[in-house]
Structure 1
Amino acid sequence: MSQLENITIRHELKPGDLGKVVELHGRIYAQEYGFGLGFEAYVMESMLEFYGQYDPQQDKVWIVEEQGSMVGFLLLMHRQDQQAQLRYFILEKEFRGIGLGKKLMQEWMDFYQEKGYKGAYLYTTSGLESAASLYERFGFKKISQIKSKTFGVNILEILFRLENK
């Protein structure tokens, strides 16, 4: 099992990163959840949306690497009305369960608070219970869920929201 000492996290996008994020999602979600190419295309389109409106004063990326290879990713994307969206939180299987997800989530929350966002949201799907549990530990609450076959499999699309107290 890989340890946290072997991990580096950078916050600057470099050429090749967008494609690697798309590949990571396409491959992992196909292997672990049976998602089809439609999911990879969705990630590709929304990564282009993120890049097109990227503002380093409001947005942040967490590029997780081991020996120069991307093994995880997370981003905070600014939205209207001082809202933030948590997107594309993913870790290769061997990097789960070692405290890395919690560390990334804490850093995400720190940036969110530092920038003074009024609220945040994220969408996830059924089958990701450990991720949902992590979001809830950081104050996100499940708001709604709808049945979907968007990515080629029967899932529930779940909306979580974080409101400042």
Structure 2
Amino acid sequence: MITSRTLPDVRIRRELRPGDLGYIAHLHGQLYARECGYGLHFEGYVLAGLQEFAEQYDPAKDAVWICEHDDKMVGFLLGFHRVDALQLRYFIFQPDYRGLGLGKKLMQEFLAFMHKKQYHRAYLWTTQEQTAAIALYTRFGFQLTEEKNSVAFDKELVEQRYDLLLPA
């Protein structure tokens, strides 16, 4: 049976619980292998980043947005404090939950968090294949600042860095 989902059907949780980060690694590994052909090195990259986040997590400086529906995680976004910026990481949705407006909602919450915590800079890394995500990032003011050829995820691709500067 196909059920239609709407934005109000999805609850956004703001606190981390045990198992959340492991599920994010699982979700990234599974979806990116199926949709983009990324290999085990990508999952290792995600795991290393999540380990760094877990070891440095500070609820006063970092934020998570965990999208849930029917007690199941269906999307995720993380804001990770860096020396002089907030890094946007692990922005992902289960395929059935794309196109509902969740991406826009989480980007609005990410920017609100930046303002509240007085971050003036944010950045993210992605690949040129992520065209829908890139369109969302640029709509919210992120600008392409760096590109590099890579085989880090077990295939040739171009990694891209996008930066956002907010008025001081």
TM score, norm. by length of structure 1: 0.97
Aligned to 1:95: 97
Structure 2 CA distance, aligned partners of 1:129 and 1:22? 21
Match for 2:147 among 145, 148, 152?
A: 145
Instruction: Give aligned-pair identity as a percent.
Output: 48
- 1:126 positional shift: 1.3
Aligned-residue Cα RMSD (Å) equals: 0.9
Structure 2 CA distance, aligned partners of 1:90 and 1:155? 19
- 1:112 positional shift: 0.8
- 1:164 positional shift: 1.8
Structure 2 CA distance, aligned partners of 1:2 and 1:30? 25
TM score, norm. by length of structure 2: 0.95
Structure 1 CA distance, aligned partners of 2:22 and 2:125? 21
Aligned runs of 1:1-165 on 2, under 5 Å? 1-81=4-84, 83-165=85-167
The alignment of Structure 1 onto Structure 2 pairs a total of residues equal to 164
- 1:12 positional shift: 0.8
SS of the aligned residue for 2:59 comes to coil
Deviation readout 1:110-164 (Å, 9 max, x if unpaired): 0011110121110000111110011111111000111111001111100000112
Unaligned runs of 5+ in 1: none
SS of the aligned residue for 2:138 comes to helix
Unaligned runs of 5+ in 2: none
Could you list the structure 1 runs, at least 4 aligned residues long, displaced by more than 6 angstroms after superposition: none
Structure 2 CA distance, aligned partners of 1:132 and 1:84? 18
